[in-house]
Amino acid sequence: MEYIIFICAMVAIYTIAAEGLNILVGLTGLTSVMQAAFLGLSAYIYALSALKLGVPLGPSLLIALVGSASAAYLLGYLTLRVRGDYFALITFALAIIIYHSFNNLISITGGPMGVVNVPQLLGSPRKFLLLVVLSAVASVFFVRLVGASPYGRLLKSIREDEMLAASLGKNVQAVKMSAFIISSIFAGLAGVFYASYVTFIDPTSFAPMESIIILAMLLIGGAGSAVGPLLGALFLVAIPELLRFLGLPGNVAAATRQLIFGLLMTVLMVFRPKGLIGEYRLY
């Protein structure tokens, strides 16, 4: 039963992270490859605030979200002036820099040894599962509401033709910045939930490859669709875990997961370029 709770919690956590990326990629058309970096920033801020500074868990959660949003504002100011593939490349480079910062700032982050005994927001696994599932459902509805709102239509106008939106008097830079910050807050919440549930964090949990996996969840489920990230999280978190019940050796199971991941991405790119239920094609 605990294993099922763990899988459901991971699906919910990654759904929150992918929904945040959906606002930036699916609605605004900005392909970011650093969502896991924001997960890591918030996870470390939450853990260090609670453990080293003795801040209560509730305020530590808020501090982590503010820290993630502040980092997004700073990084967005530096990166949002570029467009298209260049923006994706810059965010990927920043993800690598942040990952190596986690790894080398040993006096702060613990380096490769990570941070242990991260305080849990809720002691009971079932209560925590209820919290993250409700948060994931709320994130799905939030993205659906945003997509149907005037703000969402403005995001989509930037996605379709940024220059046209600017010519109509819209402050495109401010709107893109707001989407980047909202996306980082979703990632921050997912990062705090992850750190609180696993109670141990290290740089490998927030490596650049994790950002690619979150982006893949969005691509598989469908960018621009509120339910798409949930489907993508189910495909890439829950379904590969079924291989464990086949009794395969650990190294074989890991390679098989990578094979399934590659085949699934290839098939979708050919037959469903918008993902399972997406409304926007990234490539």
User: Which position has the token pair 């990234």?
Assistant: 282
List residues bridging with 201 in a β-sheet: 115
Task: Give residue-wise pLDDT tens across range 212-239.
Answer: 989 988 988 888 888 889 988 988 887 7
Amino acid, single-letter form, for residue 23: I
Residue 223 lies inside a defined structural domain of this protein: no
Flag whether 237 is in a domain: no
pLDDT digits (tens, 9 = 90+) for 93-140: 999 999 999 999 998 888 889 899 899 888 788 889 999 999 999 999
Asked whether residue 191 is domain-assigned, the answer is yes
- Total number of domains constituting the chain: 1
**What pLDDT score does 250 carry?**
59
Name the DSSP class of 9: H
Q: With bands split at pLDDT 50, 70 and 90, how would you rate the model's confidence at 176?
A: very high
Helix (H) or strand (E) holding 283, with range, is: none
Q: What is the pTM of this model?
A: 0.92
Examine residue 39 and state whether it is found in any structural domain, yes or no.
yes
- The answer to whether residue 220 is domain-embedded is no
Domain that holds residue 176: 2-206
**Does 150 map to a domain?**
yes
Q: Is 254 domain-assigned?
A: no
Between the alpha carbon of residue 99 and those of residues 95, 152, 181, 198, 213, the distances in Å are 6, 32, 20, 19, 15
Per-residue pLDDT tens over the stretch 252-281: 666 776 777 778 778 877 777 777 777 666
Residue 45 falls inside a structural domain: yes
Residue 106: helix, strand or coil by DSSP?
Answer: helix
